Structure 1
């Protein structure tokens, strides 16, 4: 049975006078039958080659007054009507194409991991997602507080993108609440005795040198496996590496005298990277952690995570009162005192002075 459509109004009331709506303003129709929302608002979106109007439905409403308000709101602030069909996953795809080329590999991995944890939202139309849906993803996540925080950051970024592109009119992500962070940091620095134990066994057991390299450079675990031999300058005692932040990407890291020989022994002209797998190819962080790091910890009966090396470096540098700005530069921390990433010979000398205090 065909649906009957009755034109309800093409006029508005202003200052007590009935006025005809301008062309292209939109129309309100009442649909036939018993419907919960019988009043439809239709917008003209263009014309075809024959001069016939093209329409898009703005929405369906319970009363004529509600429909008129919606039509007036749309004309005061027009937006892309196709937005009503775009899903959460499609917004993420658009956001990714624009955002990912501008951020670090670490950020890309973080956004992608957070997106996967919001699977319940993937097929939902973005305009239909409310605060309760977003909050449910956070509340049902059984991971750490840090993971939940990253999910919220993704929500903030997606809503920012959608608002900037007129795809939505309200940012529900700002209402999402994170639970109280009751977890204490599990990071603990290596003790002096443990560092001595590493040195005492560095030539006896494989891969202990990688632990010492991280302790004396402050490298993040994922940064270690990214260091290329072509970026290592043994004679000048520094290398370039790092990622995650703008200040941390491709930064200059001085090589302490104690680990100079460890770098020298690792560098192989046949390999592109300093740390490689058994085939001489680049090693993933996952492989390094599970096949190398865990083995060293078991052999030496230690209980540490790779990031503890970076924490150890920061602690050691602070204990010897090293130059604060140098510490930030070495570790890749952003600072208002660091205006550019151009390192002069004098800059590198200052970094070496700082590192040699260890």
Structure 2
């Protein structure tokens, strides 16, 4: 049976081909009333080609989108998403994209479930990293469907392995904290570990603290990201680390934690070139996020005000309705931190 006018057609190409059936569709008409036609794709069987043609007619999309690569769709996604998400989430997207390098130059509409699954299966990182990669895939296909860049979501078929990882976060013991204090003048950057322990900062937040945000006289600074409650929050300065922070504040540097040249550190460099070396030198077995876990444990053991703990750590709470901190608020946070 002949297809309706403008519906498109399927034809078998000559010669020996892996996908001999070509589908063409009408994309418009010229000034003379003749159809402008464009290839939709090539298929192994006539049936597969007819299904593709029917799918296109049920949900037509811009065929020029079929020329976009995986990388180009990612670039379109982050242009739309990044202004709406935290710095932490942006870093997660960037990491997941790097892990998806085998897909970068493949046309997005030629990516299939097997391609996506292979990225997950061949990733030698943690389950959490694999989950972030799948989140990226989900967001890319959501963006593609919303903008008529594709007509099928292959990301929903991707499977994550079973999460066998156990929560390995463990707080520093009091003896270990004493070891840090005893060696503070022996090894560089031990002060940064203690600053995290006494502020609850995430390691990624630590390297983002700017000197101009620090109010030494009033014993607080602003910092943090990741969540709405955590972004640009007030963090009180415990008396024990007041001098450590003061010594760090070089007027020639923009950031509190810097490299030897006074420039900003990335989390990756801080972890591998500073934190890991400190742990090895002191024969301690901890990761940077253990400092934040230590802070939460110490505050809880000291019976600090629960709401103050949430505010300092940047956890959302029903009681927190805005980002305005009064002198009374800051005084309460200082009272809470001084219980350590």
Shared fold (TM-score greater than 0.5)? yes
Distance in 2, matches of 1:213 and 1:40, equals 64
**Alpha carbons 1:26, 1:42 under 8 Å: kept:** no
Distance in 2, matches of 1:65 and 1:191, equals 63
Distance in 2, matches of 1:234 and 1:175, equals 53
Q: What's the counterpart of residue 266 of structure 2?
A: 284
Give the ranges of 4+ consecutive aligned residues of structure 1 lying more than 6 Å apart after TM superposition. Answer: 34-39
Distance in 2, matches of 1:129 and 1:252, equals 45
- Of 122, 134, 138, 1:156 maps to 138
CA shift digits 1:256-280 (9 cap, x unpaired):
1221222222222232222222233
Q: What's the counterpart of residue 38 of structure 2?
A: 56
Distance in 1, matches of 2:49 and 2:264, equals 62
Distance in 2, matches of 1:36 and 1:213, equals 62
- Of 220, 239, 248, 2:202 maps to 220
Higher CA-based Rg? 1
Q: Report which stretch shifted further, 56-65 or 196-205.
A: 56-65
Q: What's the counterpart of residue 172 of structure 2?
A: 190
Q: What's the counterpart of residue 318 of structure 1?
A: 300
Distance in 1, matches of 2:77 and 2:90, equals 11
Distance in 1, matches of 2:12 and 2:197, equals 72
Structure 2 residue 250 is the aligned partner of structure 1 residue 259: no
After TM superposition, the score normalised by the length of structure 2 is: 0.87
Secondary structure at 1:230's aligned position in 2?
Answer: helix
Distance in 1, matches of 2:40 and 2:269, equals 52
CA RMSD of aligned residues (A): 2.8
Distance in 2, matches of 1:216 and 1:305, equals 16
Q: What's the counterpart of residue 90 of structure 1?
A: 72
Q: What's the counterpart of residue 108 of structure 1?
A: 90
Distance in 1, matches of 2:250 and 2:58, equals 66
CA shift digits 1:6-48 (9 cap, x unpaired):
xx7353xxxxxxxxx4xxx333254564788776543332344
Secondary structure at 2:231's aligned position in 1?
Answer: coil
Measured at CA, do residues 136 and 206 of structure 1 come closer, stay the same or move farther in structure 2, by a change above 3 Å?
A: closer
Aligned length: 338
- Of 35, 60, 65, 1:78 maps to 60
Distance in 2, matches of 1:235 and 1:50, equals 79
- Of 326, 334, 337, 1:352 maps to 334
CA shift digits 1:275-308 (9 cap, x unpaired):
2222333333344334433443344332222221
Measured at CA, do residues 187 and 54 of structure 1 come closer, stay the same or move farther in structure 2, by a change above 3 Å?
A: same
Stretches of structure 2 that go unaligned for 5 or more consecutive residues are: none
Q: What's the counterpart of residue 26 of structure 1?
A: 7
Shift of 1:73: 4.2
**Alpha carbons 1:9, 1:27 under 8 Å: kept:** no
Distance in 2, matches of 1:123 and 1:324, equals 50
Measured at CA, do residues 42 and 297 of structure 1 come closer, stay the same or move farther in structure 2, by a change above 3 Å?
A: closer
Q: Report which stretch shifted further, 253-262 or 232-241.
A: 253-262
Secondary structure at 2:222's aligned position in 1?
Answer: strand
**Alpha carbons 1:9, 1:28 under 8 Å: kept:** no
Distance in 2, matches of 1:64 and 1:265, equals 73
After TM superposition, the score normalised by the length of structure 1 is: 0.83
Measured at CA, do residues 28 and 313 of structure 1 come closer, stay the same or move farther in structure 2, by a change above 3 Å?
A: same
Shift of 1:243: 2.3
Measured at CA, do residues 135 and 32 of structure 1 come closer, stay the same or move farther in structure 2, by a change above 3 Å?
A: closer
Structure 2 residue 150 is the aligned partner of structure 1 residue 168: yes
Secondary structure at 1:9's aligned position in 2?
Answer: coil
Secondary structure at 1:186's aligned position in 2?
Answer: coil
**Alpha carbons 1:31, 1:39 under 8 Å: kept:** yes
